[in-house]
Amino acid sequence: MSQKESSIPSEKITAYVDNELVEVERDEIEARIGNDPKLKEICEAQKQVKKLVKECVLLEKAPVHLRARIRRSLDQAQIVPGFLNLISDIFRYHAVKGLATTCTILVLVALPWFPAENLTPSSDDVIAVKLQVIEGKLICVDCEQLHSEHINSVKHSDFHRAGLKTSDGTIWQFLDYGKGSELIHDFSRLNATMHVEGKLINGDHTLNVQSYQKI
């Protein structure tokens, strides 16, 4: 069933299924779904797809930029009818755990004709790391990104991820591993100024955190 058949945008339905809407919007959509068999069918379909994906692979919340990258890749493929359209809507708010699995999904969905021999990584693809020291304010990366895109209806959730915003406005994210996991999931430090040391992953603004302290 396509988005055109629904009187509510699919991303709103996805946010409703994930319980990420503010109370007023949630109640409004719930009432409309109760009076509209088509909307109820779409909602149930998204719940079933979400359940199937969870059964096949481990899912966890991911940074907004990764969800957006997956969504753009699926949209650009222009092959997202029916079932795949529901998958792409869910990936707007979820991402498969592990970069390797994410890349596999994108290859299977967007590039089914790509020769298998071309998937072999070259020596240039090896991830490079170097030590980095940064200082900044601990923020919710997901809320920051959503607000920058003028999406204000999604409330903050403990499933969101924390990151660091430096004085020049650069937003750094952390690998969900070791010390990085402590920073990502503990929002009690939100808005605190932090000194963080870690390994820079492949030149991106992502750190494998080695140590941190509140300034």
The predicted pLDDT at position 54 comes to 65
| More reliable by pLDDT, 196 or 149 | 196
26-55 pLDDT per residue, tens: 888 888 888 888 888 888 877 877 776 666
Looking at the fold, whether 115 and 16 belong to one and the same domain comes out as yes
Residue where a domain stops, chosen among 119, 140, 165: 119
129-169 pLDDT per residue, tens: 578 899 999 888 878 877 777 766 666 666 688 889 999 98
Residue where a domain stops, chosen among 68, 92, 119: 119
Beta pairing, strands 206-214 & 193-201: antiparallel
The predicted pLDDT at position 136 comes to 92
pTM of this prediction?
Answer: 0.39
Looking at the fold, whether 161 and 82 belong to one and the same domain comes out as no
Looking at the fold, whether 144 and 199 belong to one and the same domain comes out as yes
Residue length, the chain?
215
The predicted pLDDT at position 94 comes to 46
Looking at the fold, whether 102 and 14 belong to one and the same domain comes out as yes
> Is 69 domain-assigned?
yes
> Is 72 domain-assigned?
yes
Looking at the fold, whether 106 and 134 belong to one and the same domain comes out as no
56 pLDDT tier (thresholds 50, 70, 90): low
Q: Can you tell me the distance from the alpha carbon of 110 to that of 10, in angstroms, rounded to the nearest whole number?
A: 21
| More reliable by pLDDT, 73 or 172 | 172
Q: Can you tell me the distance from the alpha carbon of 14 to that of 66, in angstroms, rounded to the nearest whole number?
A: 17
Enclosing domain of residue 172? 129-214
Looking at the fold, whether 156 and 92 belong to one and the same domain comes out as no
Looking at the fold, whether 111 and 136 belong to one and the same domain comes out as no
> Is 166 domain-assigned?
yes
91-122 pLDDT per residue, tens: 544 444 444 455 555 544 444 444 444 444 45
Looking at the fold, whether 156 and 205 belong to one and the same domain comes out as yes
> Is 179 domain-assigned?
yes
Mean pLDDT in residue range 7-31: 81
> Is 124 domain-assigned?
no
> Is 24 domain-assigned?
yes
Residue where a domain stops, chosen among 89, 119, 149: 119
CATH label of the domain that carries residue 172? 2.40.50
Q: CB atoms < 10 A from the CB of 173, how many?
A: 23
Mean pLDDT score of the chain, rounded to an integer? Answer: 70
Spatial CB neighbours of 81, under 8 Å, sequence gap ≥ 6: 2
